[in-house]
């Protein structure tokens, strides 16, 4: 164990410092497609009973109109985060009528590309801008990609804890700068070790044939007439089959400091990409079809496994918020939806995520150099494509080949003290207990969600889509029984009504001419 890591662990064991870990914040964003009772993509509009996608803080849509996104508040206990996520799910199921929420990350049977509806946000200038961004995504990546779902896990340490760590290290920077530096260090470690999350929690080894009809898929194998898969894959969602872009290949933020990261994003949103220039910002009829012709339309278009974040103010852009006020939390974006779980994630996984992220924050995090970033990327791709392959070797931090299973167990050994610290702070045993199932998965790949999904498809002799539909129906029944209590039902109905009223108020205001709005936006 590295000396700096040991010193930080010892500091956090102190009786006056350890309780600060109870002020860590945890939030979840879970996406899920609305589908018909037969497992086809729902082509209906966003249900009015769920409220306004423009102004509702908890229930909105992501890219496609049927792709719901549930957003919890940031809670000081992951158990509270999961409780809120369950309430949002139960309320949603109560108003979906015959539609279901699709259980896995990879999409259901999809209609023709042209028939996949893009999410809409009303007639205000802001709503039209959000729609235009998604039009641009469809133009650049295709609408099929806009039907992939995932879980984003948000995590932060309290400023009071950063302050104590800074004092112990004799660091004299402004606290904001120190905090940003340490979050960037967390991000580097996450990128080093997130292959472990893909092995343990990757749950997308197969896809419906409709997903790959318009993209090269020569590396995939046939499972049956309706399904493609890779036999040892953990997460095709996070492979090159997922969101991919030749344009983004040139973005190389290696996260050595915040300025390196923000400079890379600023360059990408201001550098034209020839392929997008050829398409233009307007279609043949003169209608807007993408925000700009640059590598990225906006910063959020950059598809990374983790993002440093800061809550924005007003019309502030994400990169501006980071530059002005530093990093506030991180968003882990590589988590697949577990199709066997009604919420796509459970408390055991959340407790492990907390321990893993705390480890990434406290462990030494050398700056990236030379071939570090390409090698880290290769480890990640090896695991998402063939992570359960017997004897798979990765390249360790020292540049040596190491068996995935050996390295994984070593990482769990290193993470355990963080789990113990969190249990000490909360007065529970759940963080340490969450390690045992992960050790079992490293010893037996058949216990991983990706293996379990393929096994279930074989045992039931069914396609990926049919398997997912069966699970979706089971989860729908679980989340409707018992129904949401009356007080919670009234609360979410009120949120929906208030969000609709808020959108109506925005649209009642005089709206700036959209071309003029875009002209002002593009010179910012």
Closest Cα to residue 344, out of 103, 62, 28? 103
Least Cα distance to 205 among 240, 228, 236 occurs for 236
What pLDDT band is residue 97 in, cutting at 50, 70 and 90? confident
* pLDDT bracket for residue 315 (50, 70, 90): confident
> Residues near 521 by Cβ (< 8 Å), separated by ≥ 6?
129, 291
DSSP 123: S
pLDDT tens digits along 419-459: 999 999 999 999 999 999 999 999 999 999 999 999 999 99
Average pLDDT score over residue span 2-25: 95
pTM: 0.97
Q: In which band, very low, low, confident or very high, does the pLDDT at 243 lie, cut at 50, 70 and 90? A: low
The Cα 284–Cα 124 span in angstroms is: 24
Question: Measured in whole angstroms, how far is the alpha carbon of residue 281 from the centre of its chain?
Answer: 28
The label of the residue with tokens 């893009």 reads: 118
Give the pLDDT score at 246.
64
- Whether 247 has a pLDDT exceeding 90, the answer reads no
Q: What is the pLDDT of residues 342-353, one digit of tens each?
A: 999 999 999 999
* pLDDT band, very low/low/confident/very high, at 254 (cuts 50, 70, 90): low
Q: What is the mean pLDDT of residues 402-428?
A: 98
Asked which of 61-75, 214-228, 274-288 is least confident by mean pLDDT, the reply is 214-228
The band of 361, judged by pLDDT with boundaries at 50, 70 and 90, is very high
Let me know if residue 18 belongs to a domain: no
How many Cβ atoms from other residues are within 10 Å of residue 17's Cβ?
A: 18
Residue 193 has pLDDT above 80, yes or no: yes
Which of the two residues, 444 and 300, has the higher pLDDT score? 444
Q: Between 230 and 260, where is the model more confident?
A: 230
CATH number, residue 111: 3.30.590.20
- Using DSSP, state whether 206 is helix, strand or coil: strand
pLDDT reading at 308 higher than 80: yes
CA dist., res. 347 & res. 447, Å (int): 18
The model's confidence at residue 215, banded by pLDDT at 50, 70 and 90, is: confident
Q: Which domain holds residue 364?
A: 3-13+23-522
Written as six digits, the tokens of 290 are 């993408």
Strands annotated E in 62-113: 67-71, 100-101
pLDDT in tens, 456-482: 999 999 999 999 999 999 999 999 998
Question: What is residue 430's DSSP assignment?
Answer: H
Count the Cβ atoms, other than its own, within 10 Å of residue 293: 18
Considering only CA atoms, which of 9, 324, 1, 368 is closest in space to residue 177? 324
Q: How many residues does the chain have?
A: 524
E-only strand ranges, 241-355: 306-309, 329-335
- On the question of pLDDT at 1 being above 70, the answer is no
Give residue 245's pLDDT.
60
Cα torsion through 425, 428, 430, 435, rounded to 10? 60
Examine residue 99 and state whether it is found in any structural domain, yes or no. Answer: yes
**Number of structural domains in the chain:** 1
Query: 19 pLDDT exceeds 60?
Result: yes
What percent of the chain is helix, strand and coil (3-state, nearest 5)? 50, 15, 35
Q: How many CB atoms lie within 10 A of CB 129?
A: 17
Nearest to 164 by CA among 178, 183, 145: 178
Nearest CA to 293 among 274, 267, 266, 318?
A: 274
pLDDT-above-90 percentage for the chain: 91
First vs last Cα of the chain: how many Å apart? 47
The whole-angstrom distance between residue 55's C-alpha and the CA centroid of its chain comes to 21
What number of CA atoms fall less than 13 Å from residue 197's CA on the CB side? 30
Strand ranges of the sheet holding 221-224, from the earlier edge strand across to the other edge: 206-208, 227-229, 221-224
Of 66-70, 170-174, 276-280, 369-373, the range with the lowest mean pLDDT is 369-373
Q: What is the mean pLDDT of the chain?
A: 95
| Of 318, 188, 326, nearest in space to 266 by CA | 318
């Amino acid at each position: 164990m590295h000396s700096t890591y040991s010193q930080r662990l010892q500091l956090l064991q102190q009786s006056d410092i350890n309780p600060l870990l109870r002020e860590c914040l945890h939030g979840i964003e879970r996406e899920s497609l609305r589908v018909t009772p037969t497992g086809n993509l729902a082509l209906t509009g966003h249900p009015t009973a769920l409220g306004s996608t423009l102004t509702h803080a908890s229930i909105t849509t992501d890219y496609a109109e049927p792709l719901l996104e549930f957003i919890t508040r940031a809670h000081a206990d992951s158990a509270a985060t999961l409780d809120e996520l369950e309430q949002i799910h139960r309320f949603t199921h109560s108003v979906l009528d015959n539609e279901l929420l699709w259980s896995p990350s990879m999409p259901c049977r999809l209609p023709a590309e042209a028939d996949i509806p893009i999410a809409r946000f009303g007639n205000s200038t802001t709503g039209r801008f959000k729609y235009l961004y998604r039009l641009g995504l469809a133009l650049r990546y295709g609408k099929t990609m806009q039907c992939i779902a995932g879980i984003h896990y948000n995590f932060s340490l309290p400023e009071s804890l950063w302050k104590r760590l800074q004092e112990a290290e004799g660091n004299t920077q402004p606290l904001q700068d120190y905090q940003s530096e340490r979050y960037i260090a967390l991000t580097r470690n996450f990128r080093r070790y997130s292959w472990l999350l893909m092995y343990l929690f990757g749950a997308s080894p197969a896809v419906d044939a409709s997903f790959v009809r318009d993209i090269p898929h020569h590396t995939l194998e046939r499972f049956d007439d309706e399904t493609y898969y890779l036999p040892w894959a953990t997460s095709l969602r996070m492979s090159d089959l997922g969101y991919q872009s030749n344009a983004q290949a040139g973005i190389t933020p290696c996260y050595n400091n915040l300025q390196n990261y923000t400079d890379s994003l600023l360059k990408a949103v201001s550098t034209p990409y020839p392929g997008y220039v050829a398409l233009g910002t307007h279609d043949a009829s003169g209608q807007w079809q993408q925000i700009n012709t640059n590598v990225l339309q906006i910063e959020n278009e950059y598809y990374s496994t983790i993002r440093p974040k800061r809550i924005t103010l007003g019309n502030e852009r994400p990169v501006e918020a980071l530059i002005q006020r530093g990093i506030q939390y991180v968003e882990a974006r590589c988590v697949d939806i577990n199709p066997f779980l009604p919420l796509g994630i459970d408390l055991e996984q959340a407790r492990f995520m907390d321990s893993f992220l705390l480890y990434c924050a406290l462990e030494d995090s050398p700056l990236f150099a030379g071939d570090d970033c390409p090698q880290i990327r290769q480890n990640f791709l090896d695991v998402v494509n063939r992570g359960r392959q017997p004897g798979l070797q990765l390249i360790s931090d020292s540049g040596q080949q190491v068996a995935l299973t050996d390295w994984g167990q070593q990482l769990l050994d290193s993470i355990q003290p963080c789990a113990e610290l969190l249990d000490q702070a909360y007065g529970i045993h759940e963080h340490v207990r969450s390690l045992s199932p992960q050790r079992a998965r490293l010893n037996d790949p058949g216990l991983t969600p990706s293996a379990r999904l393929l096994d279930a498809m074989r045992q039931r002799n069914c396609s990926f889509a049919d398997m997912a539909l069966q699970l979706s129906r089971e989860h729908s029944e679980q989340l409707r029984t018992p129904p949401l209590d009356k007080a919670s039902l009234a609360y979410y109905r009120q949120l929906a009504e208030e969000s609709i009223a808020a959108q109506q108020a925005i649209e009642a205001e005089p709206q700036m001419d959209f071309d003029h709005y875009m002209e002002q936006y593009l010179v910012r």
